[in-house]
Structure 1
Amino acid sequence: MAFTSFADFIAMGGHAPYVWSAWGVTLFLLLASVWHARLERRQLIKGLKRRDRREQTHQDNAAVAGNAAAGGGHHDT
């Protein structure tokens, strides 16, 4: 379909409300999808870091308890 002017292009042969609302909804959904994916990725990374810190703390506590139980604590007398 060829348009003789920019105004004709915007009017879309009388179908402008349907055409431009469809474009608007499509653009909105694409942007919302990208935003949501980025948000989920950020939350996943945050959760993995939190779990890693928790596991590291647990391992550190187990190592300290293991050294104490084995008499590995160093005491100056």
Structure 2
Amino acid sequence: MHFETWSDFFAMGGYASYVWGGFGITYLSMAVLWFLSINRSKALMKEVRNKIKRQERIEAAKHMENTL
């Protein structure tokens, strides 16, 4: 498709609302998914670190001498 001016390009032959709306929804969806993925990744890593620390405490407690 060939456009004579930038104005024609942005108007997209009368279909601008569909074209740019589609781009907008796509990029917004991708941004939301990226944000949620990053946050979930951080939460999972924190959970794994906490489980490892808990397991280390359990193992250390098994080797402690009972003083009671």
TM over 0.5: yes
CA-based RMSD: 1.4
RCO comparison, higher one (Cα < 8 Å, 6+): 2
Rounded to whole Å, the distance in 1 between the matches of 2:5 and 2:31 is 30
2:22 counterpart of 1:22: yes
1:40 Cα offset (Å): 1.2
Higher mean C-alpha displacement, 12-21 vs 27-36: 27-36
Q: Where does residue 8 of structure 1 map in the other structure?
A: 8
Q: Where does residue 44 of structure 2 map in the other structure?
A: 44
Q: Which amino acid aligns with 1:54?
A: R
- List structure 1 runs of 4+ shifted beyond 2 angstroms: none
1:34 Cα offset (Å): 1.3
Return 5+ residue gaps in structure 2 as ranges: none
1:5 Cα offset (Å): 0.3
Radius of gyration: which is bigger? 1
Q: Where does residue 53 of structure 1 map in the other structure?
A: 53
Rounded to whole Å, the distance in 2 between the matches of 1:44 and 1:63 is 29
What CA deviation, in whole Å up to 9, does each residue of 1:24-76 have, x standing for no partner? 00001111111111111111100000001111111111110xxx25xxx8xxx
Return 5+ residue gaps in structure 1 as ranges: none
Identical-pair percentage: 25
Count of residues paired in the alignment:
67
Q: Secondary structure at the match of 1:3?
A: coil
